[in-house]
């Protein structure tokens, strides 16, 4: 004989109605979704600040100030392009797969 999903064997555990089960599952889903937001926001801000630092360094380097003891060509090849590619790919990965609105 099949038991309803809200049936529990333990005498100490209160029996939940189907409505209580649905509400609990909905709340668990909301909690699961909200748990991932802070980590995603932190990573996004770290990437954005890193991008601004690279852009600032690049602007200073092209203006003639040499914040790093490397030639412009080496700064572009070893720092500019790889960091820009990393930030671009990481930003694309962080896009919300199901945009709201």
pLDDT at 25: 93
Question: Which letter does DSSP use for residue 5 in this model?
Answer: T
pLDDT category at 57 given cuts 50, 70, 90 is confident
pLDDT at 101: 45
Of the two residues 43 and 97, the one the predictor is more confident about is 43
Its pTM stands at 0.48
Residue with tokens 């991932």: 36
Pairwise CA distance, residues 87 & 93, whole Å: 10
pLDDT at 23: 93
Q: Where are the domains of the chain?
A: 47-95
Q: How far apart are the first and last CA of the chain?
A: 46
């Amino acid at each position: 004989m099949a038991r309803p999903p809200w049936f529990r064997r333990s005498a100490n555990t209160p029996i939940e109605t189907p409505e209580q089960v649905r509400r609990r599952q909905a709340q668990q889903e909301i909690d699961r979704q909200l748990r991932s937001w802070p980590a995603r926001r932190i990573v996004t801000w770290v990437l954005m600040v890193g991008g601004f630092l690279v852009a600032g360094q690049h602007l200073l380097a092209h203006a003639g100030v040499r914040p790093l003891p490397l030639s412009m060509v080496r700064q572009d090849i070893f720092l500019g392009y790889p960091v820009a590619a990393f930030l671009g790919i990481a930003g694309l990965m962080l896009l919300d797969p199901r945009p709201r609105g």
